[in-house]
Amino acid sequence: MEFHEVSKWYGNVIGINKLSIKIPAGVTGLLGPNGAGKSTLLQLATGQLYPSQGRVRVLGQEVWNSPGLNRFIGLCPEQDAFYEWMTGWDFVYTCARLGGLNRPAARAAAARTLDAVGMMPNKDRAVRGYSKGMRQRTKLAQALVHDPDVLFLDEPFTGTDPVARRELMDIIRRLGAERKSVLVSSHVLHEVHTLTPNIILLNRGRLVAEGHVRQIRDLIDKHPHHIVLSCDDYRKLAGHLLTWDDVEGVRVQAREKAIVVETHAPDAFYSRLPELAARGGFDIKEVYSDDDNLEAVFKYLVSK
Amino acid sequence: MLFHLEGVTKTYGAITALDNLSVTVPAGAVGLLGPNGSGKTTLIRTLLGLIPVDNGTGAVLEMDFHTRQLDIRRMVGFAPEDECLFPGVAGVEFAAYAGELVGMRTKDAMQRAHEVLDYVGLGEARYRRVETYSTGMKQRLKLASAVVHDPKLLILDEPTNGMDPAGREEVLELARDLAHNKGMSLIFSSHLLPDVEAVCDHVVVLGAGRLLAEGRIKDLKQFHPGCFEVRLKAGPAAFARRLNNLGCTTESREDDLLLVRVPDGHSQQTIWQAAADAREQIRFLRPQRSTLEEIFLKAVERP
Amino acid sequence: MPIFDQGYQHWSGELTDHGWRWLTITRHGVRIGMKNRLLRIALLIAWLPAAVLAFFLCVWGLLEQKSDLVQPLVPFLAAMIGPEIVNDPKAYRVEVWTLAYDYFLLTELRFSMLVILMVGPGLISRDLRFNALPLYLSRPLRRIDYFVGKLGVVVVFLGLVLVVPSLIAYVLGLLFSLDLTIVRDTFTLLLACIGYGAVVSVSAGLLILALSSLSRNSRYVGLFWLAVWFVSSMVGTVLAAVNEEHRMHHQYKRAVEAEQAAQAARPSQVAHPVQPEKTPAGSKQRAGPPQVDHQRIWADIQREQREAAKTDWRPLFSYTTNVSRVGRHWLGADRSWEKLAETVPAEERDRYLLENMGAQYPWYWSAIVLAVLVGLSVCVLNFRVKSLDRLR
- Same structural domain for residues B192 and B282? no
Q: What is the pLDDT of residue C277?
A: 45
Is pLDDT above 70 for C274? no
**Tens-place pLDDT, residues A185-243:** 998 888 898 889 899 999 988 999 999 888 888 888 778 889 999 988 889 999 999 99
Q: Which residue of B has its CA nearest to C134?
A: B80
Assess whether pLDDT exceeds 50 at residue C182: yes
Chain A from 3 to 42: CB within 8 A of any B CB: 32-34
- The b-or-e profile of C235-251 (16+ CB within 10 A means b, else e) is ebeebbeebbeebbeeb
How far, in Å, CA of A233 to CA of A280, rounded? 12
Q: Are A30 and A183 in contact (CB under 8 A)?
A: yes
Q: What is the mean pLDDT of residues B58-63?
A: 88
A289-293, B79-83, C375-379: which has the highest mean pLDDT?
C375-379
Mean pLDDT in residue range B97-104:
91
Q: What is the structure's pLDDT at C328? A: 82
How far does the CA of residue B8 sit from the closest CA of chain A (Å)?
A: 24
pLDDT (0 to 100) of residue C390: 52
**Residue C15: how many other CB atoms lie within 10 Å:** 14
The answer for A 273-292 residues in CB contact with B (under 8 A) is 273-275, 277-279, 283-289, 292
Whether the pLDDT of residue A279 is over 50: the answer is: yes
C131/B50 CB distance under 8 A: no
Give bridge partners of residue B228 from the DSSP assignment: B260, B287
Q: Do B36 and A164 touch (CB under 8 A)?
A: yes
Task: Determine the pLDDT at residue C127.
Answer: 87
Q: How far is B111 from chain A (nearest CA, A)?
A: 32
CATH class of A220-302: alpha beta
pLDDT of C387 strictly over 80: no
- pLDDT per position as a tens digit, C84-123: 777 777 777 778 888 888 888 888 888 889 999 999 898 8
Percent of chain A with pLDDT over 90: 30
- Chain C residue whose CA is closest to B71: C140
Range of the domain at B41: 3-83+148-219
The answer on B67 and B156 residing in a single domain is yes
Q: From C17, which residue of chain B is nearest by alpha-carbon distance?
A: B103
Instruction: Give mean pLDDT, residues A12-37.
Output: 89
**Cβ neighbours of B267 in A, within 8 Å:** 283
Domain containing residue C338: 19-232+319-348+367-384
Q: Which spans in chain C are helix H? A: 21-34, 37-46, 48-64, 74-81, 83-87, 93-119, 122-129, 133-137, 143-158, 164-177, 181-212, 218-226, 232-265, 294-309, 319-331, 333-341, 346-357, 363-384
Is residue B119 one of the residues assigned to a domain?
no
Q: Is C267 part of a structural domain of the chain? A: no
Whether pLDDT at B160 is above 60:
yes
Residue C151 class from Cβ within 10 Å (0-12 exposed, 13-18 middle, 19+ buried)?
A: buried
pLDDT digits (tens, 9 = 90+) for B192-240: 888 998 899 999 998 888 888 888 888 888 778 888 888 888 888 888 8
Q: Tell me the pTM.
A: 0.82
**Domain annotation covers residue B193:** yes
pLDDT in tens, A92-144: 999 999 988 999 999 999 999 999 888 888 888 888 888 888 888 899 999 99
Q: Which residues of chain A does CATH 3.40.50.300 include?
A: 2-212
**Nearest of A74, A77, A90, A210 to residue A146 by alpha carbon:** A74
Give yes or no: residues B196 and B234 share one domain: no
Instruction: Supply the pLDDT for residue B55.
Output: 85
pLDDT at C287: 45
Contact of A246 with chain B, judged by CB distance below 8 Å, is answered with no
Tell me if B73 and C140 make a contact (CB, 8 A cut-off): yes
Residue C236: pLDDT over 80 = yes
Residue B90 placed within a domain: no
Shared domain for B187 and B59, answered yes or no, is yes
Per the CB < 8 Å rule, is B150 touching C12?
Answer: yes
Please judge whether A34 and B134 are an interchain contact, meaning their C-beta atoms are less than 8 angstroms apart.
yes
What gap in Å lies between CA B104 and CA C24, rounded to an integer?
Answer: 10
A 129-188 → B contacts, CB under 8 A: 131-134, 158-166, 173, 187-188
B157: nearest Cα among B119, B197, B186? B186
Q: What is the pLDDT of residue C279?
A: 42
Averaged confidence pLDDT in chain C: 80
Whichever domain contains B252, its CATH number is 3.30.70
Mutate to test the interface with B, among A270, A279, A282, A295 (most CBs of B within 10 A): A270
CATH, domain A2-212, list 3.40.50.300, 3.40.605.10, 3.30.420.40, 3.10.20.310: 3.40.50.300
A54-73 per-position pLDDT tens digit? 999 998 888 888 888 888 99
Kindly report which listed range (A18-22, B12-16, C132-136, C277-281) carries the lowest average pLDDT score: C277-281
pLDDT digits (tens, 9 = 90+) for C14-65: 788 878 889 999 999 999 888 888 899 988 898 888 888 888 888 877 777 7
Query: Which domain-ending residue is among B165, B186, B219?
Result: B219
Residue C292's pLDDT is what? 64
Distance from C-alpha of B234 to C-alpha of A214, rounded to nearest angstrom: 12
Q: How far is CA B91 from the centre of its chain?
A: 27
Amino acid identity of C241? A
C181-212 and C122-129 helices, crossing angle to 10°: 30
Would B14 be classed as within a structural domain? yes
Q: Which of B48, B100, B189 to mutate to test the interface with C (most CBs of C within 10 A)?
A: B100
User: B224 phi and psi, to 5 degrees?
Assistant: -105, 105
Chain A nearest-CA distance from B133, in A, is: 13
Residue C329 pLDDT > 90, yes or no?
no
Give one DSSP letter per residue of B230-296, joined into a string.
EEESS-SHHHHHHHHHTT-EEEE-STT-EEEEPPTT--THHHHHHHHHHTPPEEEEEEEE--HHHHH
**B85 — pLDDT class (breaks 50, 70, 90):** confident
pLDDT at C268 over 70: no
Residue C275 has pLDDT above 50, yes or no: no
